[in-house]
């Protein structure tokens, strides 16, 4: 029974995110966060073009809020717009940008190499671009472009690698565009162990100091009691 509730909520969030992305299609949207509280439903939009989302005097946000209230039965929706500082480090924005340029008929190899250069110049440690579909003929195939260092498995691949996917619709057929960007370098295991050992040592020292203080207070109380008895 609980599983059905979680599945229903997940479906609602996916539909809500798809609606927001389609409504603000002209803007370059990155991550979309949906935060539900008892008071309101807060939707955080990360974008490189806040003006296209806000509109003249906040008109577009007001219209979107009314649609969310009527279509999804959300009582108090709030849309918060956050500006992306560097679009070349946002995987979702880069995937959408690359897909739109592929639709325009530009050479995908040249676009992929140019996109990787821009990503690496912005400070990324590594990136990977995967294009799959009818790239230059009737047969579908998959092209992969990589540069730098990129984790493929384990926890760092889930927490440190940003992923973005978009679909291009050229004349020959759909082309899937997957972008992976790694910004942070993973901390070596021996460094983590040293840090944890250092923290444990500091905690042990604090515990010893506290125990010494308690013992000292106990001795002082005992001596005061003996003096009072004499």
Q: What is the pLDDT of residue 197?
A: 63
As for how many domains the chain has, the answer is 3
Distance CA 160, CA 187 (A): 11
Distance CA 165, CA 178 (A): 5
Q: What is the pLDDT of residue 190?
A: 46
Its domain, for residue 73, covers 2-84
Q: CATH no. for residue 53?
A: 3.30.300.20
Q: What is the pLDDT of residue 195?
A: 57
Boundary residue ending a domain (53, 84, 115) = 84
> Are 79 and 127 found together in one domain?
no
Q: What is the pLDDT of residue 30?
A: 87
Q: CATH no. for residue 95?
A: 3.30.1140.32
Q: Which residues pair with 35 in a beta bridge?
A: 42
What is the sign of the dihedral through the CA atoms of 82, 87, 93 and 99? positive
Distance CA 97, CA 105 (A): 13
> Are 11 and 80 found together in one domain?
yes
Q: What is the pLDDT of residue 28?
A: 82
For each successive 10 residues of the chain (230 residues), what is the average pLDDT?
Answer: 77 87 85 86 89 85 88 86 90 92 90 94 93 87 93 85 92 91 68 58 74 73 63
Q: What is the pLDDT of residue 161?
A: 92
């Amino acid at each position: 029974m609980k599983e059905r509730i979680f599945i229903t909520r997940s479906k609602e969030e996916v539909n809500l995110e798809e609606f927001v992305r389609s409504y603000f299609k002209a803007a370059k949207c990155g991550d979309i966060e949906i935060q539900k509280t008892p008071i309101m439903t807060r939707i955080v939009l990360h974008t490189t073009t806040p003006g296209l989302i806000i509109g003249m005097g906040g008109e577009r946000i007001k219209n979107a809020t009314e649609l969310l209230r009527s279509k999804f039965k959300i009582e108090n929706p709030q849309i918060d717009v956050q500006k992306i500082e560097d679009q070349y480090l946002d995987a979702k924005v880069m995937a959408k940008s690359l897909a739109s340029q592929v639709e325009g008929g530009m050479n995908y190899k040249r676009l992929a190499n140019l996109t990787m250069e821009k990503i690496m110049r912005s400070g990324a440690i590594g990136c990977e671009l995967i294009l799959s579909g009818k790239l230059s003929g009737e047969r579908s195939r998959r092209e992969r472009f990589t540069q730098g260092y990129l984790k493929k498995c384990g926890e760092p691949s889930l927490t440190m690698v940003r992923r973005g996917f978009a679909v291009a619709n050229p004349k020959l057929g759909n082309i899937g565009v997957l972008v992976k960007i790694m910004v942070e370098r993973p901390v070596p295991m021996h460094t983590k162990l040293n840090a944890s050992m250092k923290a444990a040592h500091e905690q042990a020292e604090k515990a010893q100091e506290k125990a010494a203080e308690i013992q000292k207070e106990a001795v002082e109380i005992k001596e005061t009691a003996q003096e009072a008895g004499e």
